[in-house]
Amino acid sequence: MSLYPEIQKAALGALAGIPRGRYSNVYIVDPANGNDSNPGDRFEKPLASIEAAFALCTTNQHDVVLYVAGSSGNNLAAAVDWSKNYTHLIGLCAPTRAAQRARIFQTSTLTGASPLLTVSGSGCIFKDFYIFQGVDDATSLINVSVTGGRNYFENVHFAGGGHATQAVNGGASLKLDGAEENLFKNCTIGVDTIAAGTGMAGILFDGEAHRNVFEDCMVTMYAGHAGAIFAEIVDATGIDRYTIFRRCIFSNTASTAMTQAFAIPAGMGAPRRIYLMDCAMHGATDWDGNDRGILFQNNGTITVGGNAGLFLTTVAA
Q: What's the N-to-C CA distance of the chain in angstroms?
A: 62
Does 122 reside within a domain?
yes
Residue by residue, what is the 3-state secondary structure of 160-221?
A: CCCCCCCCCCCCEEEEEECCECCEEECCEECCCCCCECCCCEEEEEECCEEEEEEECCEEEE
Does 105 reside within a domain?
yes
Does 103 reside within a domain?
yes
Instruction: Give the β-pairing of 239-246 and 209-215.
Output: parallel
Does 206 reside within a domain?
yes
State which residues form the domain around 253: 92-307
Type and span of the H or E element at 72: none
- Number of structural domains in the chain: 1
Does 274 reside within a domain?
yes
Does 16 reside within a domain?
no
> What span, in angstroms and rounded, lies between the C-alpha atoms of 216 and 138?
31
Q: Rg of the chain's alpha carbons, rounded to an integer?
A: 20
> What span, in angstroms and rounded, lies between the C-alpha atoms of 242 and 295?
10
Q: By the 8 A CB rule, do 17 and 23 touch? A: no
If one counts every other C-beta atom within 10 angstroms of the C-beta of residue 93, the result is: 20
> What span, in angstroms and rounded, lies between the C-alpha atoms of 315 and 166?
36
Does 76 reside within a domain?
no
Give pLDDT tens digits along the chain (317 positions): 244 555 566 667 777 778 877 789 999 999 999 999 999 999 999 999 999 999 999 999 999 999 999 999 999 999 999 999 999 999 999 999 999 999 999 999 999 999 999 999 999 999 999 999 999 999 999 999 999 999 999 999 999 999 999 999 999 999 999 999 999 999 999 999 999 999 999 999 999 999 999 999 999 999 999 999 999 999 999 999 999 999 999 999 999 999 999 999 999 888 899 999 999 999 999 999 998 989 998 876 555 455 566 555 444 43
Does 193 reside within a domain?
yes
